[in-house]
Amino acid sequence: MTLSPFRTLWFFITVGIILGISSLIMPKQGIEVAGFHLHLPNLKSLYGGDTTQYADISNLISEVKDYDSLPDIDAMIAETAQQKVASADAKALAANIYRLQFPNGNKQNLMQFFANLQKAYQEKKTIRIMHYGDSQTEGDRITSYLRHKLQSKYGGSGPGLLPALQPYDSHFSIRQSNTGQWVRYPIFGKIDKQVLHANYGPLAAFSRFAPIVTDSNFKDITLYKATVNMEQSKMAYATASNFQKIRILYGNAKRPVTIKLFVGEQIVSQSMLEASNKLMEYSFTLAAPTQNIRIEFSGYDSPDIYGISLEPIEGVIMDNVGMRGCSGTFFNKINYSNLRQSYEALDVQLFILQFGGNVMPYMKDTTDAVDYGRWFYRQLATIKKIRPKAGVIVIGPSDMSYKSGNQYLTYPFLPVVRDEMRKAAFKAGYAYWDMYEAMGGYNSMPSWALANPPLAGPDYTHFTPNGAKLISNMFYNALMIEANK
């Protein structure tokens, strides 16, 4: 039987009325039914009445100059027309820089780092910065450009501290490959139950090329061989491409291990990693800088390798510790002595901690945000106890969007998490940089994602390489405007 045109029309009108009423009474966030999430768009979004406003970031995209490419504001004397123009440009740029924030204006902690940075530059020594972060920084994103700018200004080269086994598919500054039975053991995420200690080192993860064993069942039966190959990435900035010094931090070594270093096919060093339960260091300085190294290991057991550092002999060393899915609440879970010895061996002078994004989807109310801020403060207190004279800068979360109907909106408790992280930083006496406000504040992530070219990905969470470079440059300018004072 065929329906008449009148009945067909009436059917669609009835369905439209039911959907319209349902969209009015259904909660904005949808409902859960039998394990399924049901959501209906509201009438405004259906009929073009959506009034969602995204942040205007046109000024951020247009002002991409480096602060140190213009004259030092505090040293300028505008005596000529040319100097007046430069002065105007620099002052306009400085006015648009989103500044670092300090507890009650107290900049002592960071000023000490700047003094050490200048001293290292003058005395041709090295100075180390460790940049910890969540997935926004993985693969050396954000860090790579910041490292390049600092090494260009203060000297230095190399990509810094790297894991023996890379956890991610690509790295901006280094191409890394392995042979052998390598396994990585992190202290965040899913922790391997075979690990019966908390000695995870400065990368919060160690790698091994032989299975974990205990003293009770250890036998010299199998000889394990493995390699780590590191060479320049095609995407690497020039400063990160060359290095001259190789350092390996390791521990929990039950048997000595033979180690060989190759540059190309030429062997440049053969030595032993001695057996020890303590944190140990192997170090070798090449006769000249290189862009590649191959490290061969051979032994009846593998030590826990905390990291391999590719460094210069003078200037800035900057490590990228990108940790996908991590909230930054792991420092006080690592053995205190192990972490202290690691930082002392590396002589870390500045920590940059960039976290907060991974907790956002789980924030149900203000109490959750306050709890996270309290947990985060404990991490800062741990660092302060271990490295009391080191500088620390906390970078809060970027804007992040969740989809509500056809709209992309800032997570409801993101500003609260930002506030609690800033409180934690100030309580510890450390600086804070508000990445959320720097990139435009509320509903700014969609503007980054929809920019041409895109500055953020289609997940409305992570920066593209262009976006990572822009936000890195913004932070660098904020850092330099304080350094120049």
DSSP letters spanning 15-57: HHHHHHHHHHHS-TT-EEETTEEE----HHHHTT---------
| Per-residue model confidence (pLDDT) at position 267 | 97
> What tokens does 374 get?
């309290």
- In angstroms, rounded to a whole number, what is the distance separating the alpha carbons of residues 411 and 83? 45
| Per-residue model confidence (pLDDT) at position 77 | 35
Output Rg (C-alpha) for the chain, integer angstroms. Answer: 26
Where do the structural domains in the chain lie, given as residue ranges?
Answer: 24-156+314-485, 157-313
More confident residue, 169 or 476: 476
| Per-residue model confidence (pLDDT) at position 168 | 86
Long-range contacts formed by 41-50: CB under 8 A, 24+ apart: 41/405, 41/406, 42/405, 45/405, 45/406, 45/407, 50/406, 50/407
- In angstroms, rounded to a whole number, what is the distance separating the alpha carbons of residues 427 and 230? 41
pLDDT, one tens digit per residue, over 270-326 is 999 999 999 999 999 999 999 999 999 999 999 999 999 999 999 999 999 999 999
Which band of pLDDT confidence, cut at 50, 70 and 90, is reported for residue 219?
confident
β-pairing, 36-38 vs 31-33, is: antiparallel
Q: Please give the average per-residue pLDDT across 388-397, as a whole number.
A: 97
- Asked whether the predicted pLDDT for residue 10 surpasses 80, the reply is no
pLDDT, one tens digit per residue, over 413-452 is 999 999 999 999 999 999 999 999 999 999 999 999 999 8
What CATH number was assigned to the domain covering residues 157-313? 2.60.120.260
| Per-residue model confidence (pLDDT) at position 405 | 84
| Per-residue model confidence (pLDDT) at position 457 | 94
More confident residue, 2 or 235: 235
Residue reference for tokens 């300090």: 102
Q: Please give the average per-residue pLDDT across 3-17, as a whole number.
A: 66
| Per-residue model confidence (pLDDT) at position 62 | 60
- Lowest-pLDDT range, 55-59, 327-331, 459-463? 55-59
CATH architecture label of 24-156+314-485 = 3-Layer(aba) Sandwich (3.40)
pLDDT, one tens digit per residue, over 61-86 is 665 566 565 444 334 333 344 444 44
Q: Please give the average per-residue pLDDT across 34-51, as a whole number.
A: 50
pTM of the model: 0.86
